Amino acid sequence: MLTNFLPAEHVKDIFEITPDRLKEKGIKGIITDLDNTLVEWDRPNATPRLIEWFEEMKKNDILVTIVSNNQKERVRLFADPLHIPFIYQARKPMTKAFKKAVTSMNIKKEETVVIGDQLLTDVLGGNRAGFHTILVVPVAQSDGFFTRFNRIIERRILNILKRKGYIQWEDQS
């Protein structure tokens, strides 16, 4: 049960995830969280560097779908200008939105990674649905109300995983 919270990988930020790295693993698609994974939870638009990252993925035929627990307007205002498909009010860690995203990209689960900044939503949901999961360090040190609560629980889970020897990386958040 505890290993459901264990990501397959841990990276400092989204920019460590490159098309070459993904292609080496046979990855054709990305399901990514939005808030504090791609941009700060209160930043409405993508940064120039993030736009370049999306363009690089597209140029390398790697599909991207944003799967967020946030409201439609928040996700739509971010994703539409970038022409990126999205699923809002995903209810992560429930698995339905992950399955819907992979179906809409028309690729296999084994060809997809789930990227996010939270153990309790992104990693747990991605693992439960059978995806390769990548945990990123949150972009911002501040969080929305519900996420602050989740972070307290996450900290405890990470400490247990570290004590049991499941994780070796240094805490960067």
In a domain, 170, yes or no: no
Residue-level pLDDT at 172: 45
Pairing of strands 112-116, 86-87: unpaired
In a domain, 87, yes or no: yes
Residue-level pLDDT at 109: 96
The CATH number assigned to the domain holding 53 equals 3.40.50.1000
In Å, the largest CA–CA distance within the chain is: 44
The domain in which residue 159 lies consists of 2-163
Number of domains in the chain: 1
In a domain, 171, yes or no: no
Instruction: List, for residues 33-77, the tens digit of each pLDDT value.
Output: 999 999 998 899 999 999 999 999 999 999 999 999 999 999 999
Share of the chain above pLDDT 70, in %: 94
In a domain, 169, yes or no: no
Residue-level pLDDT at 164: 87
Residue-level pLDDT at 145: 64
Q: Contacts from 72-80 at CB under 8 Å and sequence distance 24+?
A: 74/34, 74/35, 75/34, 77/44, 77/45, 78/34, 78/38, 78/39, 78/44, 78/45, 78/46, 79/34
